[in-house]
Structures are given as C-alpha cells and as structure tokens.
Amino acid sequence: MTHPTATPVARTSADLTAERLDALRDLIPEAFIEGKVDFAKLRAVLGDVVDERPERYSFTWAGKRDAIRLLQMPTRATLAPAKDESVHWDTTQNLFIEGDNLEVLKLLYRAYYGRVKLIYIDPPYNTGNDFIYPDDYTDPLRPYLQLTGQMDAAGNLLTSNTETSGRYHSAWLNMMYPRSFVARQLLRDDGVIFINIDDHEVHNLRMLLNEVFGEENFIANVIWQKKQSPQNDATYFSDMHDHILVYARRAKRTKSENEGWDRNFLERSDQQAARYTNQTATPEARGHLSI
C-alpha cells in the first residue's frame, strides 16, 4: 500500500536523448513537427552554421554509433547499501560506490546533474594488458559488447585489448566516449575534469574530449613527471612522464568574466614566500600559490 501523497520513483535512469530534445525544443520550437525534429527547418534556422560539405573535419572510429547508442540507453540498475561493509554508516560524509562506472554515472545523473565541482579519473591507458573487462556484464551492456566484438555469442569476454584485435584504438574509444559524456553532464558550469593518460592514447583522448566538451573548453595538457631516473631497458627513449588533460564544463573567455571555471589559490607559507625577491610584484602574486 502506498501513501496517497507519495511520488513514484523512476525505475530507470534519466533518458539523456529526451532531455536534450527538450532543451532543443525549448530553444528552437519551430524545428519540431508532430514531436519530431524537422532537420530542414533546423538547418534553415541555423543558416550558415550547418556544414553540409561532403568533405569536412571530423573525428570518428569503428563502433562510435554503438557507443552513442549505449550512452542513450537508460539503466535499470539500482544502488544497494552495503552496511555490513561500511564504517560509521549513520554519520559518515563519504560515499564509495562499486560497480561498472558507466552504469553508476547514469544512476548519479538525476541527483548530481550540474552539481559536481571537480572530477578526476585515471582510465586504462590501453597498453594491451590494462584494458580488462569485468566478467559479470548484464543487459543492456551485453548486446553492445557483442556488437563491438568484445564478447562472443557464448558470452565469453576478451581479457585484454590487444593490438592484434583489429580495433585496438576503437575499442578503447568506445569505452571512453559514453563515460566522458555523462561525466560532463554532472559538472557544474564552473566545474572541471582532470584525466590522467599516457602517450598511447593522449592524442585520441584529446580529440574525443574536444568533441564532448568543445575544444574551446580545453584548459591545459599538464605534464606529470612520473619517474626521477631514466629507464635503462627502454627500447628508444625512456618514458619519464604522463599527461593530465584538463577540460572545463565552461571555460572563461576573458579574465574578467564571472561565469565559468577558474583556478583556486593556496596561501603561500612564509618559507615559500621567502624564495621570491621581486618586490615589484603585486601583493596577490606574492602571497598566493597558483594551482
């Protein structure tokens, strides 16, 4: 028996396609006829913005359409509390979620849409052995994995993404695209994402994030020195660094702009401030450490 004022709880995660169509309908209502997008009218409204040339700049890969389809599928999964494995369940301010990260991101979408200040992820580097799939996928992931060659008809999963698979980079991009997209939706307008990656896929990840976030929201490629001494058994050059790609949900166009992501500053300690001898610097520059 339900309470007469109770609000029914949705059994699936948010429908991302429906939400985007609602936003487009609110912005350009004349582009809809009988509930469907009229692309001819949409092109007319957008004018010269639409690129209809047969050859144009684009970034695509094998399976991209399936990755977008997977992104659009609402999940029917639910989060179940594990109180027996928790510490201070009633008072803790922290939350640790275990599960397939795409399914979890979809579950968090309704509650955390546009509310997250910072996301840091360390995805598989796709070096051939670190790109491993779990062995308990369920629908709707199962048909997707079969379509993209990651699972055979008997349900056997590949254990790694080897270069001999024929879709070495594509399989990795198919994994990264929907997760990056939903992560962006969770960010606030002044939110930012940091993604750790190495030389194997940094170029592809940069192109993918340009598409998801918009290249105008690229902030920096931060070089992180991960080793202090050369690797003697390196075939060519010793790999001494990784990359951290930084993208904002909305980057500021000018320094005076109020909206969008900006850096925070840490107060310098007296010991750090003593290293600087430039007395012509502003007090703000002398007193803060930029991060």
Which residue, among 238, 234, 170, 254, has the nearest Cα to 208 in the 3D structure?
170
Which residue, among 128, 175, 127, has the nearest Cα to 150 in the 3D structure?
175
Q: What is the mean pLDDT of the chain?
A: 81
pLDDT category of residue 73 using cuts at 50, 70 and 90: confident
Q: What is the pLDDT of residues 135-175, one digit of tens each?
A: 333 444 565 556 555 566 666 665 455 555 557 788 889 98
Burial class (CB in 10 A: 0-12, 13-18, 19+), 280: exposed
pLDDT category of residue 184 using cuts at 50, 70 and 90: very high
Give pLDDT, residue 133. 45
Q: What is the pLDDT of residues 101-136, one digit of tens each?
A: 888 999 999 889 999 999 999 998 887 655 544 433
CA angle 128, 210, 69 (to 5 degrees): 70
Which residue, among 124, 163, 129, 159, has the nearest Cα to 145 in the 3D structure?
159
User: What are φ and ψ of residue 70, in 5° steps?
Assistant: -65, -40
Per CATH, the number for 62-78+102-260 is 3.40.50
All CATH 3.40.50 domain ranges of the chain, comma separated, are: 62-78+102-260
Q: Which of 40-54, 74-88, 93-107, 123-137 has the lowest mean pLDDT?
A: 123-137
Q: Which of 40-49, 222-231, 266-275 has the lowest mean pLDDT?
A: 40-49
pLDDT category of residue 58 using cuts at 50, 70 and 90: confident
Is the pTM for the entire model greater than 0.95?
no
